[in-house]
A = this chain, B = another copy of it.
Amino acid sequence: MLDFEHPLDDLRARIDALERDAEADPNSDITRELAILQLELEARTADLFANLTPWQRVQLARHPQRPHTLDFIERLCSEFIELHGDRRYGDDPAITAGLASVGGRSVVVAGHQKGRTTADNVKRNFGMAHPEGLRKALRLFDMAERFGLPVLTFLDTPGASPTLQDEERGQSWAIAENMARLARLRTPVIVIVIGEGGSGGALALGVGDRVLMLEHAVYSVASPEAAAAIIWRDSKHAPDAAAALRLTAPDLLRAGLIDRVVPEPDGGAHRDYDTAAANLANELTPLLDDLCAHDPDDLVHARYQKFRAMGEFTQAPAATS
Docked complex Cα distance between A291 and B242 (Å):
61
A169 & B87 in contact (Cβ 8 Å cutoff) = no
Question: Across the two chains, which residue of chain B brings its CB closest to A131?
Answer: B88
Asked if A307 CB lies within 8 Å of chain B CBs, one says no
Complex contact B87–A173 (CB within 8 A): yes
For A135, the chain B residues whose CB sits under 8 A away are 88
Most-contacted residue by chain B among A87, A88, A89 (CB, 10 A):
A88
Interface residue A170 (Cβ < 8 Å from any Cβ of B): yes
Q: Nearest B residue to A135 by beta-carbon distance?
A: B88
Closest to A174 in B: B88
Contact partners of A173 in chain B: CB under 8 A: 87-88
Question: How many A residues touch the partner, as a band?
Answer: 10 to 19
A89–B87 Cα gap in the complex (Å)?
13
Contact A170–B131 (Cβ < 8 Å):
no
Complex Cα distance A131/B88, Å? 8
Measured between C-beta atoms, what is the minimum distance from A130 to chain B in Å? Answer: 12
User: Complex: how many Å from CA A159 to CA B238?
Assistant: 56
Distance of A105 from chain B, by nearest CB (Å): 29
Residues of B contacting A89 with CB < 8 Å?
88-89, 169-170
> Cβ of A170: which chain B residues have Cβ within 8 Å of it?
87-89
Q: Which of A69-121 contact B (CB under 8 A)?
A: 87-89
Kindly report which residue of chain B lies nearest to residue A177, judged by CB atoms.
Answer: B87
Q: Once bound together, how far apart are the Cα atoms of A170 and B136, in whole Å?
A: 14
Give the distance in Å from the alpha carbon of A173 to the alpha carbon of B85 in the complex: 12
**A73 CB to nearest B CB, Å:** 27
Chain B residue numbers with a CB within 8 Å of A177 are 87
Alpha-carbon distance between A135 and B173 when the two chains are bound, in angstroms: 15
**Additional A-B contacts beyond A88-B89, A88-B131, A88-B135 (8; CB < 8 A):** A87-B170, A87-B173, A87-B177, A88-B169, A88-B170, A88-B173, A88-B174, A89-B170
